[in-house]
Chain A
Amino acid sequence: MTLILNEDEQMLADGAKDWADNEHPLSQFRAMRDAGKTWNPGLWRSLIELGYPAMGASLANDGLDLGGQVALIEPLGANLVATPLISAWVSALIDPQGTDLVSGKFSAFAWMEAGARGDRTASALVENGTITGAKQAVWDVDSAKAIVVSALYNGHLGLFRVAKADCTITALHRIDHRDTANVAFDGAPCTRLAGDEALLNTALDRATVALCAEMLGGMTSAMKMLVTYLCERRQFESAIGSFQAVQHRTVDCFIEIELARSTVLGAARDPTPANVSLAKARCSDAYVLLANEAVQFHGGIGVTDEHDIGFHLKRARVCSLTLGSSDWHRRRWAVEHGY
């Protein structure tokens, strides 16, 4: 196990970075937001043509390569590229029949319920081949072909595919402008899939690692914006980056990114629940810290809509509360280690 990208992964990362910097600078995210959209079908199509969905799932022989996913996602996270890539990878695990990564066909995963605060339990109920219940903040419903739902069946947790036409879908308008929806089922016909609670946990843990990589990209990008501004902006006849109070807090941001990066690689190489929780707790807090500090050191311009740093502030907040907050993951880590 090595905690740096191998040659293949590095190639993926370099390619994705070139693509993101050329085809999708942050201004593209702003344009999408201004147009009132939550994802960009043209962009998703070009990622499919580049083969990213398939590549992220095919590097290792078990088809579940997290190193490749981390390599691909980080540069996209840096430029806030809004695509259903992570959902597609999750779908390949929980709904292999309903997924074709080469054409970009996948099912969205509806697992979280109101009030669950990160817990993965379900109260949606399957009886007589139909499902009733409601799920919260489901990713990428708009771009998905179908929906996979976690629900109780004979007292056990199972996974079920439901057609989008049979659900009530309420698109959410959230601070990060991504494709997210609440989904409700009232006696909707459903198909039982092979997975159980263990698969649900595996899939969500892997999605968490990928999300951590996205956050790593986001915090690195916020850091870059911060350092650039500290060198440019002058007050008191000096660059503001020469003030020690500013320098030391910026160094602490850098340290947090370095630690976060190690935990993400650690989780990608060995995605045990404890390792995944270590990474998610660290990344959640680090991305939020980076965004907060970067806004602070931009002064007034930092809290305007005109400046891009606010996009990271909003995305960091969403990511930090998605797939379990840092508190949730610290609690899980504690249980895994017997505290």
Chain B
Amino acid sequence: MSDFRTELVAWLEENAPKSLHGTASSPFQGHWGGKSEFPSEDHRLWFERCLARGWTAPNWPKTYGGAELSLEDARVWQEELFKRHLPLPLVGFGLTMIGPILLAAGSEELKAAHLPGIVSGEVRWCQGYSEPGAGSDLASLRTKAVRDGDEFVVNGQKIWTSHADLSDWIFCLVRTNDEGVKQVGITFLLIPMNTPGITIRPIPLISGASPFCEVFFEDVRAPVANVVGQVDQGWKVAKALLAHERTMVGESIAAGGARAPILFTYTLRDHAIDVIGTDENGLRDAAVRDELVRSEMEMAAMKLTLERTKDRIRAGDQPGPESSIFKVVGTELNMRRWELALKIADQDALGWEGDAYSDRNIAMTRQWLRSRGNSIEGGTSEIQRNIIARRVLGLPK
């Protein structure tokens, strides 16, 4: 065992509350920071103990509150947590999206202003990219920012903004210039959500949950100092962030996908065996068995591909647009798996609520409905395939 692993295992033994073992299934499970509350006193304890070691942002610089772990040790940290199904002390768009972008492209002032708040979990971020008229064709966005001295005045509307109602800040793409090609003239701007002129309206989903919102901007003032990168040059920053988002989606799904607590350790295999039963040939339904095995083998192949990508990064390669394959494979696989779960459950899969259906079956059905958004959020499957076709394979326009 590496020194770090030995130290970590001993530390977890001492410090990870017993009640939290076995309560998480993926990198999306954990404390979201900001206004969100800790579900229990143990969750708070766990968070605070990790924070004290810099382990809410394990590989970030110590100056901002991280632990400056190497990539290798950061992986060990994740592995040991997942092994125990422990929740991450902290998750969210601050850690996985805007943070890495600021670290790579932000000014010293912006880093000092925002990174510590992310690490400490005080500030939760949301992503203001999509608009009613600008989805896949994101660069056609029209939310306008007009300069007025040291400030921008923002007017327009964002949509599908996940967790906008719970967030403290939004990183936003705004139009600062109408001339020339549409990719030029976009600016990457950070705005506090409590600024006067911002209105938020949650949108209910087919799953019954309401994780995303419309956000309206009416004469919202934000300092020019809040621009990441250069004014009018935000498109490059926006795209770099999307690459982080896509790999993260793949990783999350490989680790089991975000799912309701009641489904954490309940695998598709358990589900099939419970419902269908086995005989001397294995699962009693050969067609389901074949479909299940294909799905499990694809999952195994995707996990190996994520591992191989990490090995390449460690060996000095830069991750490029091929990160889109994780978005495509990960989400489409996840969606097929929930469909298979429903097929296995048969009539029990069709309940919305009520005593006739078990909590687990309801959770499964809701999760299936939620998964339908997987191939849309973060850039649709079709758009990912366009990206791979042009930027990886070099196919002509």
Interface residues of A (CB under 8 A from B): 2-4, 227, 230-231, 238-239, 241-242, 244, 247-248, 250-252, 254-255, 258-263, 265-266, 278, 281-282, 330, 333-335, 337-339
Contacts and interface: CB of A to CB of B under 8 A. Distances in A.
Contact of A259 (B294, B307, B329, B385): B329
B282 A339 contact: yes
Contacts of B356: none
Interface string B303-322: 01101100110010000001
Contacts of A252: 385
A261 B269 CA distance: 26
Nearest to A260: B301
A281 B396 contact: no
Interface in B263-316: 269, 272, 282-283, 289-290, 292-294, 296-298, 300-302, 304-305, 307-308, 311-312, 315
A278 B393 contact: no
Contact of A339 (B289, B382, B388, B394): B289
Contact of A241 (B269, B283, B305, B396): B396
Given A247-B386, A334-B289, 8 more contacts: A3-B307, A247-B393, A247-B395, A254-B325, A255-B325, A261-B308, A281-B297, A333-B297
A266 B307 CA distance: 10
A251 B394 contact: no
Contacts of B296: 337, 339
B328 interface: yes
Contact of B311 (A4, A239, A255): A4
B288 to A, nearest CB: 10
Nearest to B290: A330
Nearest to B292: A339
B304 A262 contact: yes
A230 B305 contact: no
Contact of A254 (B311, B312, B382, B393): B393
A1 to B, nearest CB: 9
Nearest to A244: B386
Contact of B395 (A2, A250, A334, A339): A250
Nearest to B304: A262
A241 B397 CA distance: 8
Contacts of B298: 259
B346 to A, nearest CB: 19
A262 B283 CA distance: 28
Given A4-B312, A339-B269, A266 B329 contact: no
Nearest to B306: A262
A261 B301 CA distance: 9
A330 B388 contact: no
The 4 A-B pairs at the shortest CB distance, nearest first, are namely A262-B304, A247-B389, A3-B308, A262-B305
B255 interface: no
18 contacts: A3-B307, A3-B308, A227-B394, A230-B396, A238-B396, A242-B395, A251-B385, A254-B325, A254-B392, A255-B325, A258-B322, A259-B301, A262-B308, A265-B304, A330-B290, A330-B293, A339-B282, A339-B293
A282 B396 contact: no
A259 B308 CA distance: 10
A248 B382 contact: yes
Nearest to A248: B385
A330 B395 contact: no
Contacts of A281: 297
Contacts of A239: 395-396
